[in-house]
Amino acid sequence: MLRDLDSRTAAFFDLDRTLLDMNSSTLWAKHELRGGSISLRQFGRVLVWNALYHLSLIDIETAFQEAVGHYRGRFYQDLEAETRDWFARDVAHHLRPGADRALQEHRERGHQLVLLTSASAFAARAARDTWKLDDFLSNDFPTDDEDKLIGTFARPLCYGPGKVERARLWASERGVELGNCYFYSDSYTDAPMLRAVGHPRVVSPDPRLGRAARQGGWPILQW
Ligand SMILES: [Mg+2]
């Protein structure tokens, strides 16, 4: 009975700077720079975008469109395989110790563990498989008849209010009430989703989120 009830509780986790101690897109850009598929100048632009994103100062759809356009014509399964290798080699060990403990605690309580990230579905799928999560919600990329990326992303973007929209749909399809759910995040851009769940958890927050957390009485964790 108790287990049945708990399985209808989900713990949602942001990826970048929440489960991970850094931003996965920076690690991906380093990987691409090493492989020669982007220039040093393009790498610099990624770092600038990441900084703006972190400060909630970026038009995310524009930045996303520019980033995704870079992959137009690439085979979906090739990017999938490349991302899987990269995740195992460059990313998995960036899991924060506090995040590892939280995943374990929720797992022991029978909660569903769901990654909720603005990262790519390639990275999210690798994270799900690596850390044995139950599911993921992330950004995915439409393909043509040959399974090549057409250079756009699926809407709504899994970011800000889009995360809430995606989580609500996921929850309603499974008889899960967001009021019973947890969400862990470091970023002010995730404030809508933190407000949508019954158990918001703020992790090593950016300054703006730290203020919102103190005002809202949201627990602040330092991982
Ligand atoms: Mg984050």
At 132-154, the pLDDT tens digits run 999 999 999 999 999 999 999 99
Query: Considering the chain, what percentage of its residues have pLDDT values greater than 70?
Result: 96
How many of the other CB atoms lie within 10 Å of CB of 105? 11
Domain ranges in the chain? 2-221
146 alpha carbon – ligand 1 mean position (Å): 33
Which pLDDT score is estimated for 61? 86
CA distance 145 to 176: 35
Mean pLDDT of the chain: 92
Tokens of 108: 């022991």
How confident is the model over 157-206, as pLDDT tens digits? Answer: 999 999 999 999 999 999 999 999 999 999 999 999 999 999 999 999 98
* Length, in residues, of the chain: 223
Contacts of 57 (CB under 8 A, 6+ apart): none
Q: Where are the alpha helices (DSSP H) in 115-155?
A: 121-131
Which pLDDT score is estimated for 1? 43
53 alpha carbon – ligand 1 mean position (Å): 10
pTM of the model: 0.92
CA distance 74 to 98: 36
Burial class (CB in 10 A: 0-12, 13-18, 19+), 26: middle
Indicate the pLDDT class of residue 54, thresholds 50, 70 and 90.
low
5 alpha carbon – ligand 1 mean position (Å): 29
Contacts of 143 (CB under 8 A, 6+ apart): 76, 149, 150
Number of H helices, E strands in the chain: 10, 6
Is the model more confident about 202 or about 53?
A: 202
CATH of 2-221, one of 3.40.50.280, 3.40.50.1000, 3.20.20.70, 1.20.1600.10: 3.40.50.1000
209 alpha carbon – ligand 1 mean position (Å): 11
Q: Is 208 left (phi over 0), alpha (psi -120 to 50) or beta?
A: alpha
46 alpha carbon – ligand 1 mean position (Å): 16
- Cα distances (Å, whole numbers) of residue 118 to 1, 54, 107, 148, 177: 35, 12, 23, 21, 22
The helix/strand/coil state of 149 is strand
